[in-house]
């Protein structure tokens, strides 16, 4: 029998058992009819690959019935029954299946049962990838944001320290996150990172693991040493529940227990549901290719006849159940006809929603206030974050070693944890994927994360999240879920940092569409760009050169500048002339321009002293979006161009930019576009003399400038 649902579970309270079972029966038939129709119409339905819930319907519907409009959900690609249980029409799911214009999730841009939804009364479902384990990190980030914003409300944190609004006398149910995942995906390392953080911070999240013993064509025995329930025992504090995922009542009762545990803030929970796989893995990997006799075994656990028998035992009439099945069949057929006739997307909209509109459109605030002192670049960054945390209670800052006493290995977060508390400024484990991927979930709930990767050389474990979760979210959700996340990354070589603390990574980042990449060269730009990056509604990676932090490297004294006032901003995508050529030399036509960024600005200005008045230095400041208009104007002024980078030159952003200039500005050029970068080697050597041989320098730049000016 169904247990009486907890009072806090508003979606199911006071619903008679037979009514709930009948609702489940109708929707279970609806999901099954959809799967059968897709198979019968496979020449049309399988044009784009899809998977269905067939065999998983019972546990998915149980979960859907327990979710409320206050909650958040991260379904996986087999969860179409869950979406039906939330109230979505078959027609809406079919629009996505057929990649139609009015697909409510993505406008025809992403796969079936890959939802992203903001709809009154339903859980918020942010965009996520194909959900083969990666979704666990953003989902856990959602739970972390829920917990943090509850703390903000309880502490009455508001901008400027003013008291918050009075609490609602009838607060809604405590929200939670449902993360749905297949058992095969539980073997992903990123899932372990998510579970670690969920337990460490006692986050309000339920992990629903649907275990059908298959991962495409590999069996559970081949893929894992234990199932998810057994694996979860290694995370003390993670509440565990086993259910029969093919039985609606077992699923509902077990999930009710888990949901109540989480709503009462007892910490995270994991529900392991054993389910049969009755359909294909996907429409592109068909069951007849690999299942053999296993399919007949799974069919014995079909949740539909099991629910049918239970309803009869509860007093339902056979004729009424037949009528419900017929109603489901008719709804599916009618919705299919409507979906087939629905319009396709307008091809002209293909590029819409790469980014959400920027928040900062023009430079504002005081760049050089009267009486202000000069400041180091590292301190400008610290002060900018301090200003943000003071003004925006939704902002928080985390990463490796940024909290506690240390405040970052470069002291770039010094004393912030003491000032704002360890709920807002805190250390994470060595989990780059979690640090970056959690920002997508944080942002979806309303928190504004600033995170740090300790060294650029350690960002690679985070690329999966950066590419699959953050960069695609705005585009694939049609702008519903941009990810306002600021990711700080110390980069660059100086003085023997060696192969794992000296890397430059901008070219790799710039192959990822949907993120912005910013690279300041001085303290004033650091403060203005960091704030703009925080305010931007898109993912921004801020590259911070370690050799410029303290202006100790010879030739980098100009990185130390007058400190701008609080609130100073520079729009992203706007280059600056760091050094202009002399007007008389410009009129004489014997000048050139160095287009560069970061440390390159300082190499170029030092090198230019050999050629007084003849060298302009254009500091790009933002690499994506690139100030192409600024580049065109500089090319038109000079006709001779050097593109300078610290990265190895071969196949770099610098070479790409040089090629673009050569192609689009050919008639304005007085010489080939020159390039200079580091040696094309896989790492920076530890020995400082070897490092010098590998990297550009002012002397090397001066030599190239001589060749260019004399061309």
Known catalytic residues?
A: 501
Number of alpha carbons in the 13 Å side-chain half-sphere of residue 251: 29
- Asked if 268 contacts 258 with a C-beta cutoff of 8 angstroms, the reply is no
Name the residue among 446, 355, 437, 361 with its Cα closest to residue 398: 437
Four-CA torsion 649, 653, 658, 664, nearest 10 degrees: 160
Q: Which residue has the tokens 């007084």?
A: 612
| CA of residue 190 relative to chain centroid, distance | 13
Q: How many CB atoms lie within 10 A of CB 700?
A: 15
Q: Are 645 and 676 in contact (CB under 8 A)?
A: yes
In the Cβ-directed half-sphere of 229, how many Cα atoms lie within 13 Å?
11
Assign residue 656 a region: left if phi > 0, alpha if psi is -120 to 50, beta otherwise? alpha
Whole-angstrom distance, CA of residue 628 vs CA of residue 587: 23
3-class DSSP state for residue 329?
Answer: helix
Sign of the Cα pseudo-torsion (390, 396, 398, 403, in order): positive
Strands annotated E in 236-329: 239-244, 269-274
676 contacts 700 by C-beta, under 8 angstroms: yes
Token reading at 670:
């007085």
232: number of Cβ within 10 Å: 23
Cβ 599 vs Cβ 620: under 8 Å? no
Q: Is residue 486 within 8 Å of 454, Cβ to Cβ?
A: no
213: which 2 tokens?
């013993």
């Amino acid at each position: 029998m169904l247990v009486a649902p907890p009072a806090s579970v508003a979606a199911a309270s006071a619903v008679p058992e037979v009514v709930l079972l009948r609702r489940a029966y109708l929707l279970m038939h609806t999901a099954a009819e959809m799967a059968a129709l897709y198979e019968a119409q496979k020449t049309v339905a399988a044009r784009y690959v899809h998977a269905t819930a067939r065999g998983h319907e019972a546990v998915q519907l149980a979960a859907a019935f327990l979710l409320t409009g206050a909650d958040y959900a991260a379904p996986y690609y087999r969860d179409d029954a869950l979406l039906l249980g939330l109230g979505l029409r078959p027609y809406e799911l079919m629009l996505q299946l057929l990649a139609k214009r009015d697909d409510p999730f993505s406008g025809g841009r992403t796969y079936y049962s890959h939802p992203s939804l903001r709809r009154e009364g339903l859980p918020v479902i942010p965009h996520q990838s194909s959900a083969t384990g990666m979704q666990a990190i953003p989902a856990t980030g959602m739970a972390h944001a829920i917990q943090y914003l509850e703390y903000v409300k309880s502490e009455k944190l508001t901008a400027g320290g003013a008291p918050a609004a009075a609490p609602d006398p009838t607060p809604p149910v405590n929200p939670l996150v449902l993360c749905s995942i297949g058992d095969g995906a539980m073997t992903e390392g990123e899932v372990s990172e998510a579970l670690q953080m969920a337990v460490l911070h006692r986050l309000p999240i339920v992990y629903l693991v649907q275990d059908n013993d298959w991962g495409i064509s590999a069996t559970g025995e081949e893929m894992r040493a234990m199932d998810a329930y057994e694996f979860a025992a290694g995370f003390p504090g993670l509440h565990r529940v086993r259910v029969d995922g093919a039985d609606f009542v077992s699923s509902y009762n077990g999930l009710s227990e888990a949901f109540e545990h989480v709503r009462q803030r007892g910490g995270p929970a994991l529900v392991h549901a054993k389910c049969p796989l009755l359909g294909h893995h996907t429409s592109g990997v068909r069951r007849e290719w690999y299942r053999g006799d296993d399919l007949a075994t799974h069919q014995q656990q079909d949740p539909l006849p099991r629910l049918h028998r239970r309803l009869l035992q509860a007093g339902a009439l056979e004729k009424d159940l037949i009528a419900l099945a017929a109603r489901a069949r008719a709804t599916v057929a009618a919705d299919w006809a409507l979906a087939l006739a629905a319009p396709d997307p307008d091809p002209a909209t293909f590029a819409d929603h790469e980014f959400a509109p920027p928040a900062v459109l023009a430079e504002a605030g005081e760049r050089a206030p009267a009486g202000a002192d000069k400041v180091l670049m590292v301190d400008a960054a610290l002060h900018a974050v301090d200003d943000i945390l003071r003004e925006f209670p939704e902002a928080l800052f985390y990463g490796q070693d940024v909290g506690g006493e240390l405040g970052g290995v470069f002291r770039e977060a010094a004393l912030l944890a003491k000032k704002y508390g360890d709920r807002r400024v805190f250390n994470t484990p060595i989990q780059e994927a979690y640090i970056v991927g959690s920002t997508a979930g944080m942002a979806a709930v309303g928190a504004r994360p600033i995170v740090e990767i300790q060294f650029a050389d350690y960002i690679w474990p985070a690329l999966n999240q950066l590419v699959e979760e953050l960069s695609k979210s705005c585009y694939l959700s049609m702008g519903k879920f941009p990810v306002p996340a600021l990711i700080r990354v110390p980069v660059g070589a100086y003085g023997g940092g060696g192969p794992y603390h000296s890397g430059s990574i901008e070219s790799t980042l710039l192959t990822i569409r949907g993120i912005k990449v910013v690279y300041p060269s001085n303290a004033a730009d650091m403060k203005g760009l960091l704030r703009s990056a925080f305010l931007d509604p898109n993912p921004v990676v801020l590259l911070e050169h370690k050799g410029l932090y303290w202006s100790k490297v010879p030739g980098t004294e100009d990185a130390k500048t007058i400190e701008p006032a609080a609130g100073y901003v520079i729009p992203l995508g706007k280059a600056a002339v760091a050094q202009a050529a002399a007007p008389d030399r410009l009129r004489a036509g014997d000048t050139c321009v160095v287009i560069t960024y970061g440390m390159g600005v300082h190499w170029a200005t030092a090198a230019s002293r050999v050629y007084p008045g003849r060298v302009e230095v254009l500091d790009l400041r933002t690499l994506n979006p690139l100030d192409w208009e600024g580049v065109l104007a500089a090319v038109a002024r000079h006709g001779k161009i050097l593109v300078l980078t610290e990265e190895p030159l071969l196949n770099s952003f610098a070479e790409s930019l040089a090629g673009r200039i050569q192609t689009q500005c050919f008639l304005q050029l007085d010489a080939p576009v020159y390039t200079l970068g580091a040696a094309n080697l896989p790492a920076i050597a530890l020995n400082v003399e070897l490092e010098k041989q590998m990297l550009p320098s002012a002397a090397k730049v001066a030599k190239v400038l001589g060749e260019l000016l004399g061309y």
